[in-house]
Structure 1
Amino acid sequence: MTESMRQLPRGRHHLSREEVVASQRERILVAMGEAMTVGGYVGTPVAAILKRAGVSRETFYELFRSKEDCFNAAFDRVSKALADKLQAVIADCVDTDALTRMDRILTAYFEHMIDDPASARLFLVEVYAVGPSAIEARMALQHRFVAVVAAMLGAETEDQQFACATLAAAIGAMVTGRIAAEDPESLRGIKDQLIALARRSGTLYGNAFA
């Protein structure tokens, strides 16, 4: 269990009010994702989140207006974590060849899903049960993933950008299906197939394998 997920000690402690609130908020956001692996968004009451997070109902509503507001904050948290990880890998791959770049980026993406399936389920599966604002955020995340794929494959033309959008959608669908089926480990088996597909496609997706 991470430091942020531990309940604060009872009685006096040396944490500031801001640190206490930050700890409570983090525990709630993590608990949101974990609770939904049991009942899904619709079947997860606030009480289930409170029990996992170890906070009171009063504390929850001091931080979030509703369960949907909490979900949106949890979505922002997990999508930022994924975006930060991919951007760090991309920055490290600037001077590498296309094969190495694609291998490292896809490895980071799939390992992120495997290491934290609760978060993956939150932003890939449960998001569609929440409402229009959550779906809009999911589409924005997908657009950012398209940009990652386009950069990875050296897309320059409009046709290549469109091809990358279709590839990103296909990857997203495959990942979503495996997360929904509670089989994230199977993601390891599709990386090499995706790389082989990109290499066979010539300049369809971009100029990386031209």
Structure 2
Amino acid sequence: MAGRLRAPTGRYGGKSAEERQAERRGRFLEAALRLFGGSPGYRGTTVASLSEAAGLSTRQFYEEFRTLEDVLAALHLQVNDWAEEAVLAAFVDAQGLPLTERVTAIFRAYAADVTTDPHRIRITFVEIVGVSPRLEEQRLARRARWVELICAEATAAAERGEAAPRDYRLAAAAFIGSVNGLLHDWSAGWVDATLDEVVDELVRQLLGILRPPGWTPTPAL
């Protein structure tokens, strides 16, 4: 997302203009993770306070972003990208495992990533909600991406005879709602359980969707 001011060009201190720009952008996002995801939160942060936390100037802020909403949008995508990378890596590592073990490993990888820093949970589940129509569209688009990932894995499992054959879109959307709500409530201290217990409960829900009562796996040919 381009800012309103032109960034300097050429090499300085052994770094190219692109490298310096990437470094500045990273510092703003790191500071935003602390402020938006902690205190005072997105709505309590100003351009001046964010710039100060990043150790940069407001002029440098406007070289990278137009508004604080642009920062929140970029940070929300970054946090989701981190979680998606963790999940995709777990998919590779869990190939060949039985369904229950595979689902557990993949979901534990997701939970471990989003809960590794409480600031990430707040960005994902709290600060992004209700900011603007634009960010609502982005939030729902990323949620839809998670739904599609679950549907793809569930459909593949059904084709292997490991899960019930069905259209998983509605069930996947409902499951993502459970994930978001329970992880948010756990992080806020409203759920008296360990993270392992929370993950186990969510895995049980997902397995119940994949293997409803009365259905049995089809032996592989």
Give TM-score, length-normalised by structure 1. Answer: 0.81
* 1:2-81 aligned within 5 A: 13-36=13-36, 37-81=38-82
Asked if the contact 2:171–2:209 (Cα under 8 Å) also holds between the matched residues in 1, the reply is: no
In structure 2, the CA distance between the partners of 1:202 and 1:32, relative to structure 1 (3 Å rule), is closer
- 1:208 and 1:190 mapped to 2: Cα distance? 26
- C-alpha displacement of 1:40: 1.7
Instruction: Answer with 1 or 2: which has the greater Rg.
Output: 2
- C-alpha displacement of 1:135: 1.4
- C-alpha displacement of 1:147: 2.5
Asked if the contact 1:120–1:179 (Cα under 8 Å) also holds between the matched residues in 2, the reply is: yes
Q: Counterpart of 1:157?
A: 166
Q: Give the match's secondary structure for 2:42.
A: coil
Q: Give the match's secondary structure for 2:22.
A: helix
Q: Counterpart of 2:8?
A: none
- 2:98 and 2:212 mapped to 1: Cα distance? 18
Q: Give the match's secondary structure for 2:100.
A: helix
Higher helix share goes to which structure? Answer: 1
Asked if the contact 1:149–1:168 (Cα under 8 Å) also holds between the matched residues in 2, the reply is: no
Q: How many residues align?
A: 196
* 1:189-208 aligned within 5 A: 189-200=197-208, 203-204=211-212
- 2:130 and 2:46 mapped to 1: Cα distance? 14
* 1:137-176 aligned within 5 A: 137-153=138-154, 154=157, 156-158=165-167, 160-176=168-184
- C-alpha displacement of 1:94: 2.7
- C-alpha displacement of 1:41: 1.4
Q: Give the match's secondary structure for 2:89.
A: helix
- 1:208 and 1:140 mapped to 2: Cα distance? 34
- 1:116 and 1:193 mapped to 2: Cα distance? 21
Identity of aligned residues (%): 27
- 1:78 and 1:46 mapped to 2: Cα distance? 21
In structure 2, the CA distance between the partners of 1:142 and 1:202, relative to structure 1 (3 Å rule), is closer
Asked if the contact 2:182–2:198 (Cα under 8 Å) also holds between the matched residues in 1, the reply is: no
- C-alpha displacement of 1:66: 0.7
Q: Give the match's secondary structure for 1:42.
A: helix
- 2:86 and 2:76 mapped to 1: Cα distance? 16
- C-alpha displacement of 1:125: 0.7
- C-alpha displacement of 1:116: 2.1
Give TM-score, length-normalised by structure 2. Answer: 0.78
- C-alpha displacement of 1:25: 0.2
In structure 2, the CA distance between the partners of 1:99 and 1:164, relative to structure 1 (3 Å rule), is same
Structure 2 runs not aligned, ≥5 long: 1-11, 159-164
Q: Counterpart of 2:6?
A: none
Q: Counterpart of 1:132?
A: 133
Q: Counterpart of 1:111?
A: 112
* 1:71-110 aligned within 5 A: 71-110=72-111
Q: Give the match's secondary structure for 2:43.
A: coil
- C-alpha displacement of 1:182: 9.0
Asked if the contact 2:42–2:127 (Cα under 8 Å) also holds between the matched residues in 1, the reply is: yes
In structure 2, the CA distance between the partners of 1:52 and 1:198, relative to structure 1 (3 Å rule), is same
- 1:61 and 1:26 mapped to 2: Cα distance? 14
- C-alpha displacement of 1:202: 6.1
